[in-house]
């Protein structure tokens, strides 16, 4: 095991740090993946497949995330180490629970590779992800239901941001929903810690449709406001079933944003011209038309979305401020979790597979 992996996972190499932080989880590494029965594939994570499985000892249903090792010269992917470190220190009802880490023998036909061990992360199993539900034609969320999900998402993000963790990939397929109405933030493979002494980070993070304008224009010093922007984009999608900015590449993405929110000015976004790619924007000047784009949703929802989607990152609310917005405190009030509809288990991966099967069937008939 590498030192980095040992440090991330709280094995013997990390005892000193654990004594100082007793709330951190430790994993035994003593179990083998053969102690779990694989049921079906439910996803593709940042760095490996995700399977629904059954613990043969307890009978508990879990999610097994296989860490893809074949690309790694050093043995263990940085993204996986990062996720393990994050999840070891985060405990919150709206963050997915990593229960254990187990190993397995690689079954690869290549003899050299077969001796390598495989690593699996064992998570609590959650019935759905938001994209899987949104992609199901028969499902439409009520505004009260969206409020319940948004409230939980912002609560989980507030907890992360208070602990100086940026998620950096908030989107529907990384938000899990169980049949008790609980939302859990998952996939911390792109997450990282930050602090007010801004460090330089990569701006090639966050799935394109949910990526903020400062990242698209080359900012490499940023904080929680990049996650807040993603929440604004997702909120529109939950309320309308359509993405607000479905760009095909970075140039189209920034153009779509400015077509709706208006071109930036020194008033609306002080200092934006100093970003690396600001020069790309010479030419067309757009007036803001967010209200027009969001005509189908209520004025208070539009007001919150306008706050979350401020071009100037400094003007976006914190997750805690957003939770205080009138939208959450006016009718229709958030649906109590126990009253939310229960759905058949649906993840984005399965929804795509079902669409493929249906297309195959239709093309043959």
**Distance of alpha carbon 246 from alpha carbon 115, whole angstroms:** 44
10 Å Cβ neighbour count for 332?
A: 12
Decide: residue 249, CB within 10 A, 0-12 exposed, 13-18 middle, 19+ buried.
exposed
**Distance of alpha carbon 203 from alpha carbon 339, whole angstroms:** 40
How is residue 111 written in tokens? 């003899």
The answer to whether the beta carbons of residues 229 and 210 sit under 8 Å apart is yes
**DSSP letters for 289-323:** -HHHHTTTS-HHHHHHHHHHT-SSGGGSPPHHHHH
**Distance of alpha carbon 203 from alpha carbon 88, whole angstroms:** 25
- Which residues 6+ apart lie within 8 Å of 177 measured at CB? 126, 127, 128, 129, 130, 133, 149, 183, 184
Residue 169 is a catalytic residue: yes
From the candidates 169, 178, 312, 321, give the one annotated as an active-site residue: 169
65 among the known binding-site residues? yes
φ/ψ of 265, rounded to 5, equals -130, 170
DSSP 249: S
Distances in Å between the alpha carbon of 33 and those of 63, 79, 92? 12, 21, 26
- Which residues 6+ apart lie within 8 Å of 329 measured at CB? none
Residues annotated in a binding site: 65
Residues annotated in a binding site for ATP: 65
Q: Which residues are catalytic?
A: 169
């Amino acid at each position: 095991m590498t030192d980095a992996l040992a440090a991330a996972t709280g094995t013997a190499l990390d005892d000193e740090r654990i004594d100082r932080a007793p709330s951190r989880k430790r994993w035994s590494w003593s179990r083998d993946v053969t102690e779990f029965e694989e049921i079906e594939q439910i996803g593709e994570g940042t760095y490996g497949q995700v399977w629904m499985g059954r613990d043969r000892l307890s009978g508990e249903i879990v999610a097994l995330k296989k860490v893809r090792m074949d690309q790694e010269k050093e043995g263990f992917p940085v993204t996986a180490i990062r996720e393990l470190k994050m999840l070891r220190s985060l405990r919150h009802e709206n963050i997915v629970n990593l229960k254990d880490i187990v190993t397995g023998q690689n079954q690869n036909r290549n003899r050299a590779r077969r001796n390598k061990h495989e690593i699996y992360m064992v998570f609590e199993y959650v019935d759905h992800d938001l994209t899987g539900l949104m992609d199901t034609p028969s499902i439409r969320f009520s505004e009260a239901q969206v409020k319940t999900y948004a409230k939980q998402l912002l609560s989980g993000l507030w907890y992360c941001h208070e602990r100086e963790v940026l998620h950096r990939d908030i989107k529907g397929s990384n938000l899990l929903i169980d049949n008790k109405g609980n939302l859990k933030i998952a996939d911390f493979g792109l997450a990282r810690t930050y602090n007010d002494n801004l460090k330089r980070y990569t701006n090639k993070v966050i799935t394109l449709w949910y990526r903020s304008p400062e990242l698209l224009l080359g900012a490499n010093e940023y904080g929680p406001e990049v996650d807040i922007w993603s929440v604004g984009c997702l909120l529109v999608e939950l309320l309308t079933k359509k993405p607000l900015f479905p760009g095909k590449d970075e140039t189209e993405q920034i153009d779509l944003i400015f077509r709706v929110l208006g071109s930036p000015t020194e008033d609306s976004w002080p200092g934006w011209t100093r970003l690396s790619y600001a020069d790309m924007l010479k030419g067309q000047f757009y007036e803001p038309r967010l209200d027009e784009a969001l005509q189908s949703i209520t004025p208070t929802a539009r007001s919150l979305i306008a706050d979350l989607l401020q071009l100037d990152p400094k003007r976006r609310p914190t997750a805690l401020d957003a939770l205080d917005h009138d939208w959450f405190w006016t009718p229709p009030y958030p649906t109590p979790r126990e009253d939310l509809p229960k759905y058949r288990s649906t993840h984005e991966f399965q929804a795509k597979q079902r669409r493929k099967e249906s297309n195959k069937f239709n093309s043959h008939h």
